[in-house]
Amino acid sequence: MTDTLLFDPRDERYKSPYGAVSAGTVVHFALRPERAQAFSRAVLTARFESRANELVRIFLPWSGRDGERDVFAGSLPTGDYVGLIFYSFRLEGLDGRTRTLGEYQLTVYDGCEQVPAWFGEGTCYQIFPDRFRRSRIPDPGGMVGGRSVHAAWQEEPEYRPDARGEVRNRDFFGGDLKGVLEQLPYLQSLGVETLYFNPIFEAAENHRYGTADYEHVDPMLGCDADFSALCRAAHARGMRVILDGVFNHTGFVSRYFNGDGFYPQPGAAQSRQSPYYPWFHFQHWPDRFDSWWGIYTLPAVNEGEDSYRDYIIRGEHSIVRRWLQAGADGWRLDVADELPDDFIRELHQAVRAADPNAVVIGEVWEDGSTKIAYGVRRRHILGGHCDGLMNYPFRNGLISFLLGADAACFRDAMETLRENYPPFAFASAMNFLGTHDTPRILTLLGVGSDCRENTKAWRADFRMDAGQRALALARLRLGALVLFAFPGAPTIYYGDEAGMEGFEDPFNRRTFPWGAEDKALTAWYAALGQARKSLLPLRRGDLRWLRAEGRVLAFSRTWEGETVIAAVNAGDAPEQLPLDGAFRDRMSGERFTDTVPLPPLTGRLLTGERCKSASGVV
């Protein structure tokens, strides 16, 4: 007798409603042991974690029979509680026998606020600003950081330590906002509806995660007016803009810390009377201070300091508000786990006050419902904090499947998220195959690992051979199809659609290969992006698994009676998938009835013969 026959939290016959629930919901439970087991009593024990692990025990009375099984059923009220509930069951027999099941997780969230749906519905495109497109070769003279600029766009980024033994990230290529503006037609051709920018504010390093001045666009990118102009142009094309908010730390080289004295106003490193001194924590002023992961170039801030919160969040023209007023439509919070929950909540309130339709997306690398950071269970997706999270579990699960893992492992990982996440968080997840923090997806799919056993110089020079690249491209087409068909925002890391290669930073941050793109791959992404933009089932539909076994993964999305099916065969043997009706493969144009063949390394995006799009029948 298996536990799933006794109780299955993903089956509404055993637990209703499915998954996470909003506060105030009464959750119904049922156990179904075999009658021959002669259990006479069932008890539910619920542990309310955020209420000092308070235990609540509820008797589940016998409520009848279901075939050869007894049914014990009862209900758990959640009241005004918000947090995680961990529950288990105990079955008791008249002869003293007992059986325990659990423990299971129930996420209870604050459902009072309406989360804007636009982010999760459309395609997002991540831009690393220095490397996407430049409209001119800039002059770095007078800019913060002692920069150098590569003369040729195609040169390799610098990865070797300098004379002081440091990798300083001061080599720039000069990508700018006007360059992005010039390429809005290209991005629109991909079906992109959201532009997510890595940091754009003045900073000494090319990645700009050590903010030097939150109040101004980095001059190499352009000026503040250029940003607003870009936002207006994007909005005119139906696109929105999300900015990277780096609020856990500033730059050592910044007007706030001013570690190198570049800025004329004294920073925390120059004077204890500086208005910025309370923002930082010194063990020994001025040379020993808290920093992000011990990296001295990124001094950590005290997010609880009132003057810092006033500056970033609270003021009428606070940083969070002023850039929304300048045209942004939301924020992605860097290292959200390292920001206090009350800081994120206050920031979220400020964002919604400035623009009720703006969103907050958090950087979290694990299941965001269970995340513990600094000994505290985080409230990222319990309502009023983050509207969605970066979905690294999606990336990890999909890459594992593409590289050989059973499709059931991907399905189970995603079902765990769907069960644990509030519906708004699952729908607004930022799904992706790669980011600026991971090796290029094409390289991973061709080589199979990050090759850290080799030297960094080897990784810098490495390029896939023809066989590796052909396999990688075939796998990437499958991965992209799943990405664009799955609930949550399909997010493209700039250049993945062009066939860029590379291992870790900075090899995953090379310049976009304008004029040398893999045009077949770009066309595949564009077709998927346009499908995501036009097919309502892909934007809003439910999720139903059709097959997740071995090397075949298939699921459907249905909205208002119309269905789209994503089916991929990542193996080297042909497969078939039965169909209920007639469908057309949007990618190849082929039509199928009753069954669809899946040759090796083939993906299909199947629409019903009369499936409606946002603009009519497709």
Q: At what angle do helices 519-534 and 466-485 cross, to 10 degrees?
A: 10
Q: Which two tokens stand for residue 215?
A: 């109040």
| Residue 33 resides in a domain | yes
What mean pLDDT is predicted for residues 46-65? 97
Kindly tell me if the per-residue pLDDT of 77 is higher than 50. yes
Please determine, for residue 3, whether its predicted confidence score (pLDDT) is greater than 70: no
- And the tokens for 368? 């965001």
* 55 within some domain: yes
Whether residue 280 is contained in a domain is answered as yes
Query: What per-residue confidence (pLDDT) applies to 617?
Result: 39
Q: Is 80 a catalytic residue?
A: no
510/525 Cα distance (integer angstroms): 20
Strands 372-373 and 376-377: antiparallel
Q: 247 vs 128, 199, 515, 548, CA distance in Å?
A: 18, 11, 37, 41
Distance CA 541, CA 523 (A): 25
Is residue 157 assigned to a domain? no
Give the pLDDT score at 446.
98
The CATH number for 564's domain is 2.60.40.1180
Q: What pLDDT is stored for residue 221 in this prediction?
A: 98
Q: What CATH number has the domain bearing residue 98?
A: 2.60.40.10
Domain that holds residue 275: 249-302
> H/E/C letters for each residue in 159-221?
CCCCCCCCCCCCEECCCCHHHHHHCHHHHHHCCEEEEEECCCEEECCCCCCCEEEEEEECCCC
Last residue of a domain, one of 109, 136, 163: 109
Which residues 6+ apart lie within 8 Å of 134 measured at CB?
153, 173, 174, 175, 176, 179
Residue 253 has pLDDT above 60, yes or no: yes
Name the residue with tokens 């056993």.
453
pLDDT above 60 (res 1): no
Report long-range pairs for 581-590 (Cβ below 8 Å, ≥24 apart). 581/608, 581/609, 582/608, 582/609, 583/607, 583/608, 583/609, 584/609, 586/527, 586/531, 586/618, 587/481, 587/524, 587/527, 587/528
Q: Is residue 370 part of a domain?
A: no
Which among 357, 362, 320, 359 has a CA at the least distance from the CA of 337? 362
Residue 45 counted as domain residue: yes
Percentage of the chain beyond pLDDT 70 is 98
Q: Which amino acid is at 260?
A: D
Is 363 part of the annotated catalytic residue set?
yes
Domain total for the chain? 3
pLDDT > 60? residue 614 = no
Whether residue 2 is predicted with pLDDT greater than 50 in this model: the reply is no
- pTM of the model as a whole: 0.96
Residue 284 included in any domain: yes
Cα 187 from Cα 233, distance rounded (Å): 12
| Mean pLDDT, range 276-286, rounded to an integer | 98
Distance CA 413, CA 418 (A): 9
Catalytic residue, chosen from 176, 193, 334, 496, is: 334
Q: Indicate the residue among 58, 79, 109 that finishes a domain.
A: 109
Q: How confident is the model at residue 618 (pLDDT cuts 50, 70, 90)?
A: very low
Domain C-terminal end among 76, 109, 142? 109
Number of Cβ within 10 Å of residue 334's Cβ equals 20
Distances (CA, A) of 454 to 451, 459, 503, 510: 6, 7, 11, 20
CATH of residue 291: 3.90.400
- Which residue among the candidates 70, 130, 363, 518 is catalytic per the annotation? 363
Burial of 268 (0-12, 13-18, 19+ CB in 10 A): buried
Residue 405: inside a domain:
no
